[in-house]
Amino acid sequence: MTGQLDGLRAVVTGGASGIGAAIVDALLAGGARVAVIDRATDGSHPDAFAVQADIGDDASVRAAIDAIAAELGGIDTLVNNAGIGAQGTVEANDDEEWHRVYDVNVVGLVRVSRAALPHLRAAGAASIVNTCSIAATAGLPQRALYSATKGAVLALTRAMAADHLREGIRVNCVNPGTADTPWVGRLLDSADDPAAERAALEARQPHGRLVSAAEVAAAVAYLVSPAASSTTGTSIAVDGGMQNLRLRD
């Protein structure tokens, strides 16, 4: 993407780790200027403008977006990537946990988008990319709460795309399969047999391995680029074929 993102002013939430950090790398490599919003900015790319904020807190989100718009001279691109996980069936989590995960994965995305929209409108041609998940489109065991939040992200992607198309703002999402990030590392570490758990997750994806964060980032870099100017209200699966393919030996 070298040079194809020249002039873009991008914000990436959750940009200090995993998929978000890879998105920051890809956008910088394409020539964009990039800001990170993360609740823990350690590990953020040194060339990115990092602002510590929790997307669960509206005032800190608004302050972060204001600081970024001042630093970059505006915002054309928002990547809503920050998210948290939850495990178990619908019986596993109490009301408080349902509200906590929704508050980050869904309402957090809304808070950042709401704060950024005036800047995106002013940019003339802008885009939002949401990090959704295979969990929005396939039924995965032990992921009831997490899947519900990502289903909401998919629906919001379409609704926001409809609302903002005529304002010059495209809205899309990426749906990663299981990706090799610190988050999945933590999940594997907590399993009884981490090697067996990793093998099971790799086998679940038709291409036989975990998705890399850089592969997800490449899809995001395309979606925010001028090459995707006619692409809105849709999702790109980066899942090794997990959603759509049925292989046989």
Ligand X SMILES: NC(=O)c1ccc[n+]([C@@H]2O[C@H](COP(=O)([O-])OP(=O)(O)OC[C@H]3O[C@@H](n4cnc5c(N)ncnc54)[C@H](O)[C@@H]3O)[C@@H](O)[C@H]2O)c1
> Under the rule (CB under 6 A), what is the footprint of ligand X?
13-14, 16-20, 38-40, 54-56, 81-84, 104, 108, 131, 133, 176, 178-179, 181-184
Q: How far is the CB of 127 from ligand X (least distance, A)?
A: 18
Active-site choice (146, 178, 198, 215): 146
146 is catalytic: yes
DSSP 239: S
Pick the closest to residue 112 from 51, 183, 42 (CA basis). 51
Q: How many Å apart are CA 210 and CA 181, to the nearest integer?
A: 10
Q: How far is the CB of 180 from ligand X (least distance, A)?
A: 7
C-beta closer to ligand X: residue 123 or 216? 216
Q: How far is the CB of 69 from ligand X (least distance, A)?
A: 18
Cα-based distances in Å from 5 to 1, 15, 29, 164, 182: 7, 18, 8, 21, 27
Q: How far is the CB of 240 from ligand X (least distance, A)?
A: 11
C-beta closer to ligand X: residue 80 or 127? 80
Q: How many Å apart are CA 150 and CA 83, to the nearest integer?
A: 10
C-beta closer to ligand X: residue 123 or 173? 173
Residue 171 three-state SS: strand
C-beta closer to ligand X: residue 4 or 114? 114
Pick the closest to residue 81 from 204, 217, 232 (CA basis). 217
Q: Which residues are part of the catalytic machinery? A: 146
